[in-house]
Structure formats: C-alpha cells, structure tokens
A and B are shown apart, each in its own frame.
Chain A
Amino acid sequence: MKNSFFNLFFKILFVILLILIAAPIVNMLISLSPGLINYVFQDKEIVRSIFFTLEASFYATLFGLLFGIPAAYLLARNDFWGKGVIEAIVDIPVMFPHSAAGIALLSIYGSRFIFGKFFALLGIGFVDTAFGVILGMFFVSFSYLVNSAKEGFKKVDVHLEYVAQNLGATRFQAFRRVVLPCSFSDILSGMIMMWARGLSEFGAVVILAYHPMTAPVMIYERFTSFGLQYSKPISVIMIYVSLIIFIALRFIQHKMKVRDKGKR
C-alpha cells in the first residue's frame, strides 16, 4: 500500500516536471506555420542573424578543435603537478554567469586592454565585430569539446599508439591515423555540443559584440523594442534549429554506441 503511494507520488511530481518543461517548448513548436516561415524569410535581418549565428558558432567550434584537441590529448595522456588546476581552468567558463564572462572578456580583449591592443596590431578587433561574437561563443563552450575529447582519448589505450609507432608511424601519424579515428565519436559529440552551446550563447556575446547581431541577441532586441509578437518567429526557428541539432547528436551517439559495442 505504502509502496503504491510512493510510486504514485513520484509519478505525479514527474508529470508536473514534464509539463513545466515541455509546455513552453511544445507551445513554440506548434506555432510554426507557413505564415510564420514566410514572415521570417522575408525579414532579411532575421535570416542573416540565423545564418550568422550558425556560421559564428561553427568557426568557434573550429577554433575549439584547433586548440581544444591538443589540450584534451595532453590532459588525457599526462599526469602532472597542477593538472587539477588546469582542468578547473578549462571548466570554469561553463560555471560563470555568462554576462560575467562577457565582462571578463571585454576587460582584456577590449580595444583599450592588453589583448585587445595586441590583436589590434594584427588588424583584429573584438568589440562589436564577428571576431567578438566567435570569441564569446568559444569562451563559454570550448570546455564541452575539451572534456568530451579528453574522455575519448582516455578510452584509447596508449599502447595502440606505441604499436603504431613500432610499425613505423611518427607520433603525429600515430595520433592522426589511430588515436583520432578511435576517439572520433567522442570528439564529434563534443563538437556538436560546443556548436549547439555556441548557437544559444547570449550573455557573453551581447556584452562583447552586440553587433553583428546573433539570433539570441536579435530575439532579445525584438522583444525589448517591439514585444512578444515580434520576437516569437525567430525564437521558434531557433528552437527548431536546436532541436534538429539535439536529435542529430542523439542519433550519432546512438550509432557510435552500437559501433563501439560491436568492437568490444
């Protein structure tokens, strides 16, 4: 008797939770109509901001690959004094309030500050530029890629690398031909998570680079200037984009899991 009450109580709480979470999402999803699509695609600013967001997040992910993969590999393969501190540094940007991350970035990449001045010499500015958007996205999302890749590298036995080297491969060839393919599913998951996180970033981006406008900034701008009705179409589209990425991620993870299971 008690047991069935326990189950019922938990089930009720669970259903309430589902309703609370799903209702706004479903409400937005069912708002999609030919009229709304037509409205969105006629507003060039919205279309541009959506594509710009996808593109900027993609570039942020590319930077993530360039710098994050070596970092993940080193962290996975080596134990050294201070490793915990370095891992914490990699994780911290996720924990920051993102507007605080924006302030932190502005305080050093702003045109009057040290990194800002240095990059200005190379012709790169971060305040209100696409570079700033990419930097903001990169800063708050790269740890997803690093951590996922690190876990992937840990799964690859270091002796696979040694054997590859014993068979004539240089360290780089062993990494490229053996380690990368063997940890590909984790790297890919990390990339998708980083890309998706970049797409949704608002706080850091809005402080560092209000323009060019990303979709989340545009939603905010439309809402504060014109109200709910004008911010809704772009929000619906962005929720669909995120949903597609989420489904793709789950699908890829599932495929990889099946493949890895086969390997064992």
Chain B
Amino acid sequence: MLILDNVSLKKGLFRLKEISFSLSEGEYLTMVGPTGSGKTMMLDTVIGINRPQTGEIRVKGRSMSRVPLQNRPVGIVYQNLYLFPHKNVYDNIAFPLAIKRMPKKTIKKKVEETAAFLKITDILGRSIQNLSGGEKQRVALARALVPERPVLLLDEPLSALDAITKWEIMQELRRIHREKRLTVLHVTHDIEEALFLSDKIGVLIQGELKQMGPVEEVMNRPSSEEIGRLIRKDNLFKMTYDARRSLLCKGTFTLYKEGLKDNREYLVHIPPEDIILSHEPLTTSSARNCYKGRISSIIYHNLGVKIGIDAGIRLVSLLTQRSFHELELETGKEIYLIFKSNAVGVYGV
C-alpha cells in the first residue's frame, strides 16, 4: 500500500538517509525516534511538501514523484492539528469535500457520518476556539478521514494531550484503524503509543531507519544499544559473561544465564514488569535470580508504580497500585527482587 524505496533528502544540515520500508494494506507502523530524528521530515516528504532527492514513494503501486500535494491519496494529522481557526467544526470537516465542489447534500451526509463515527456530532456547530484538546483531536481526525484516503499519517498526535484524553484517543485510533482498514504511519517519541497501537515498529535515529519489524521483534531484539536505550528506558545495561560460573557480571551484580560466550559483553534488559518484590526471599520459586536491595525511589506512573531499587546496580520494578499498597513499600526499606532467567533479554553487543 505504502512503499518508501531508498528515499533520501537533505534539508539544511539535516539528512534523511535512504529510508526504505513497505506497509501492506491495513498495517499500522509506528516510527519511533528522539526529537530531531527526521520523523516529521519523513512524513512531509510522503505527503509531498518535500521532494526526495533520490528514491521513490509509491502508494497503491503508483509512484508519487509527479503527483502534487493536493492529489496524493494520503491524509495527515499533525501534532499541532492545524484546524482552520476561521471555520467552525462542520466547515473544517467539510473543507476537503467543498474543495472538490461536491453537492451540499453529499457533503452534509458525509460530514455527519464521519462526525457520528468519531462521536462529535453534538459539536459540529461550535467554533474551533471553544473545543477541548480531545475534541480538537477528533475534529482533526474527522477532517483527515472524510476524503476516504487509504493511507493516514499521524505526526505525534497524542503528545500535547493529558493522560486521560491521550488514553481515549489511543483507543479511538485503534478503533479507526480496525474499522476503516486504514494503512497508518504514525511517528512518535513515545514507545507506549507504539506498543498499544502498532503492528510494526520502526526506529529512526538521526535520519536513518535503524531497525524495523514486528513489535515483538523490535522490543525483544533491539539491533543495537542505541535502539535498546530508546525503546527500553529502564533496566538496560551492558554485562560481561563468565562462562565458568554461567553468570553475567556488572560490578558486584551478577545474573544467572546459561549458554553465552565467555568474556563477551552483552546488552541485558530486565523488563520492570517481570521483577517481583517481596519482603522475604522466595526460596521455593523457580526463579533463579533473587537479590536483596534498598528502595531508592517510588514514582507513580500511569501504568502503576515504578519502584527504584539499589541492588548493586539500580533496578526498576513496575508494580500495580494494588501490589504497591499491599507490600507497604517506603523509600529506604530493604526488599527482595525476584525474576525468572527467561525474563532477561540478552542481546549481542
């Protein structure tokens, strides 16, 4: 459906380097990258604002090289939404249809259908200035969807929203994607969005597509430390393997693991949600890794509570609110950390 074939572009000092990927019909790809990695530049190139210096963009098999911006079958919603401030909600959504000089009856029907789909029927008569962040987001989505184009691009669409609205819109995006069978290219710096919404994840760093694949593959097998650090922020470190003792070592901290190459450095990741906390060492558990540590921080998170523990190295455990209250944790308290060996991700460095 959407193919970028070796697309390169230089703008000022920044360069988008030979970006290649393809998306099948109905696939959802989230391109993750830090600020300034070229994500928006890539989207601007797909919709035709930028012209690639090399390579080609194809939509439904058709090259976009000579297709002007206004004729590309690709919709976009930007982070700033860019709703037309001089038009009300109805006229914003009707804009792409009015431009095509569709009959007023058809426009009304399509606008009302799209508004109903996005649950904004009751705000159609309102001015843009009087909408909440979530309502504006829905209007921008409705405006991008109403021309019924097969590909939708989303440029950090959730980054300006509060946590509750963000969650609502994320669910809405998932519903839109599934019900409309849209091919979606979403760019963000937030890995949580990618995990919730995507079939595939791409990692864009300094204008280069470093890795791309199904969500599980990229999350579990990042191809470099740089990518690992981008997508896995907690509990990621380099460790050296001691084959004689079957231990990965970092200072005094060691991890039991079998079958790795002796004296070689590995990138290790322990998912925070896989670390169990207990006031007693669990000797009967099948988990081979049990450590004593001291709680150094407690941070409330939208997915639960993040507990920072000093156990020779700093580890983070993610607990549900319920577990946190049951354990009666406090900073400074001693605690045992337990996790299974097979929860530990080890990647070759």
Contact = CB atoms under 8 A, between A and B. Distances in A.
Interface of A: 157, 159-160, 162-170, 173, 177-178, 181-182, 184, 262-263
Contacts of B78: 159, 163
Contacts of A168: 70-71, 96, 99-100, 147
B244 interface: no
Given A262-B129, A263-B129, A162 B86 contact: no
A163 B86 contact: no
Given A173-B99, A262-B129, A263-B129, A166 B84 contact: no
B49 interface: yes
Contacts of A262: 129
Given A159-B82, A178-B84, A181-B86, A166 B69 contact: yes
Contacts of A182: 84-86
A163 B79 CA distance: 12
B84 A165 contact: no
A163 B70 contact: no
The winner among B44, B80, B85 for most chain A CB atoms within 10 A is: B85
B129 A166 contact: no
A167 B82 contact: no
A169 B47 contact: no
B85 A162 contact: no
Interface in B75-96: 75-76, 78, 80, 82, 84-86, 95-96
Interface in B29-85: 44, 47-49, 69-72, 74-76, 78, 80, 82, 84-85
A163 B99 contact: no
A261 B301 CA distance: 36
Interface size class of chain B, counting residues whose CB lies under 8 Å from the partner chain: 20 to 34
Nearest to B69: A165
26 contacts: A157-B80, A159-B78, A159-B82, A160-B82, A162-B49, A162-B82, A163-B76, A165-B69, A165-B70, A166-B48, A166-B69, A166-B72, A166-B76, A167-B70, A167-B75, A167-B99, A167-B144, A167-B147, A168-B71, A168-B100, A169-B99, A173-B99, A178-B86, A182-B85, A182-B86, A263-B128
Contacts of B99: 167-169, 173, 177
A170 B70 contact: yes
A178 B86 CA distance: 8
A164 B85 contact: no
Contacts of B200: none
A23 B48 CA distance: 61
A159 B100 contact: no
Interface in B104-153: 128-129, 143-144, 147
B140 to A, nearest CB: 9
A262 to B, nearest CB: 5
Contacts of B84: 160, 164, 178, 182
B85 A166 contact: no
- Rank and list the top 10 A-B pairs by shortest CB-CB distance, nearest first: A167-B96, A165-B69, A181-B86, A163-B82, A168-B99, A263-B85, A165-B70, A168-B96, A169-B99, A262-B129
A181 B71 CA distance: 24
A167 B141 CA distance: 12
A167 B31 CA distance: 23
Contacts of A263: 85, 128-129
Contacts of A163: 76, 78, 82
Nearest to B76: A166
A181 B92 CA distance: 14
A157 B82 contact: yes
